[in-house]
Chain A
Amino acid sequence: MTATPAGTTDFTSDELMEVNAARALASARTCFVGIGLPSTAANLARATVNPGLVLIYESGTIGSKPTRLPLSIGDGELAETADAVVPVPEMFNYWLQGGRIDVGFLGAAQVDRYANINTTVVDRGPDKPEGRLPGAGGAPEIASNCGKVLMVLRHSTRNFVRRLDFVTTLGHGGGPGDRKKLGMPGAGPTAVITDLGVLRPDPATAELVLTEVHPGVTVERVRAATGWELTVAGTVGTTEPPTPDELAALRTLKAAGKDAR
């Protein structure tokens, strides 16, 4: 493991996260894209490692090919550039529940050591009302029915918590076999990509393990940003820094989105 000295890099930690999230889609055929960071990653993948990737948005678009980052899940350009636009019940019943989508790409407000997700409510302590989050959206069934699930979110003890206040979306439950017992068709979360590194479930325990850090990030820093006693792989790799092409593609996508506003 090597660390690039801080201050010598010319990319941000967010860009490291976004580029690595895009690379995780290199071999996917179809991706059900969540709002926010997953959408950034999926569109960057189309611009770099996987031009043929079929992007599917819950608003009903299949095979969207936007030239900029969509400004919402129902951005007009997603529909205008799609192979097909379908009604929302069809999207969830035929395409998602029908098992036709390889990868679900999700963000989260809170995640636990088994990659379970909370996007519903957060406990703010005694005598205080629960903090309200947006809610489930498509995530519970995306995580259940897609072949596998990738996640992308920023790494902090606020997000990576010992115990979820609410389970909106099941990852690996409480350990191996839990998904199977519930009859969930997909393999569940296979990687969580953050601005510090990459976590993957241990095949034996289903618990998320730190397998890679981004250039310049130490294992100690990831541990400090994780709300549970983080297990670390025997050998922790270092992700490849973004190539100039990847960075250029990401910045072009983001700039085009700003122009559209």
Chain B
Amino acid sequence: MADIRSLQDAVADLVHDGDTVAMEGFTHLIPYAAAHEVIRQGITDLTLVRMTPDVIYDQLIGAGLVRKLVFSWGGNPGVGSLHRFRDAVENGWPRPLELDEHSHAGMANRYVAGASKLPFAVLRGYRGSDIPTRTDTVSTVVCPFTGEELAAVAALNPDVTVIHAQQADRAGNVQMWGLTGVQKEAALAADRVLVTVEEIVEELTPRPGGIVLPTWVIDAVSVVPGGAHPSYATGYSTRDNDFYQAWDPIARDREAFLTWIEENVRDNVRNSEGALTR
């Protein structure tokens, strides 16, 4: 059952040093506020998992909290490169970053296997690509019925999945809608689940294409209005495209990055407490 609790307490209880953590969201509903709480608490040696690591993973990597990244496309969507990610991979700053790299189809299927509690998933993928030479989580399997050789990808089972959604009810049932990405699979694949939401409502009204995660598959729900900013929450906010543009020059420069993190994340007690008191 999901406890409705402060973001600070939920992150402290559910995310530990050395964990494998998935913070999913395909451009939409990215759990920025929760990731900033991880930075404030200095939770480190993380293996981060996500199909599309973007600015928030750039921030976690640049803050030196990440040991390994499992992913399929790392960029600033609509803008360009992730400079903190590149600096870690190319120069080992602030620490070396190990990579486990896949295609989108492979990552999506790794989550499906994880949610299904199967050891691996099959797909007609990776053919002719060099990707399998750099990872030990892609192999092949022969179909017992047709003899076709298919790609096999190892299941992903994060210690913790953190997602953002629009609404929860008082019992901790959660609903999200719009682009729902791979969040359901990432949540069901994980041992522990934290969901930040825009608001608590008396009753969840079913939405077309909406996904409901029942309270008994979630550990904690934290109410964090605007917790997806600079990404967005359909029905509540729009994407802050200017922020994604503004991030590029900040992330290019190590000093500018460190200053930004100090001023906007580590010292941002007002924002942190603002989220807690809602």
Contacts and interface: CB of A to CB of B under 8 A. Distances in A.
Interface of A: 35, 58-61, 70-76, 79, 84-85, 87-89, 91-93, 96-97, 116, 120, 129-132, 134-141, 144-145, 166-170, 173, 178-179, 182-185, 260-261
Given A129-B91, A168-B131, A169-B129, A136 B184 contact: no
A136 B89 contact: no
B259 interface: no
A183 B143 CA distance: 14
Given A59-B27, A85-B209, A184 B185 contact: no
B127 A138 contact: no
B71 interface: yes
B26 A88 contact: yes
B54 to A, nearest CB: 9
Given A71-B241, A76-B28, A136 B112 contact: no
From DSSP, what is the main secondary structure of chain B's interface residues? loop
Contacts of B112: 89, 93
B130 A135 contact: no
Contacts of A260: 241
B232 A58 contact: no
Interface in B202-236: 209, 211, 232, 234
A144 B127 contact: yes
A88 B104 contact: yes
Given A75-B239, A89-B112, A141-B125, A136 B86 contact: no
A58 B52 CA distance: 11
B75 interface: yes
B105 A59 contact: no
A144 B125 CA distance: 8
B179 A85 contact: yes
Given A134-B75, A140-B127, 17 more contacts: A59-B181, A73-B27, A87-B182, A88-B51, A89-B109, A92-B109, A93-B109, A129-B91, A131-B90, A134-B74, A140-B128, A140-B131, A166-B130, A167-B128, A167-B130, A184-B127, A261-B241
A59 B244 CA distance: 18
Interface stretch (B77-85, B161-169, B192-200, B247-255): B77-85
Given A132-B86, A182-B127, A60 B26 contact: yes
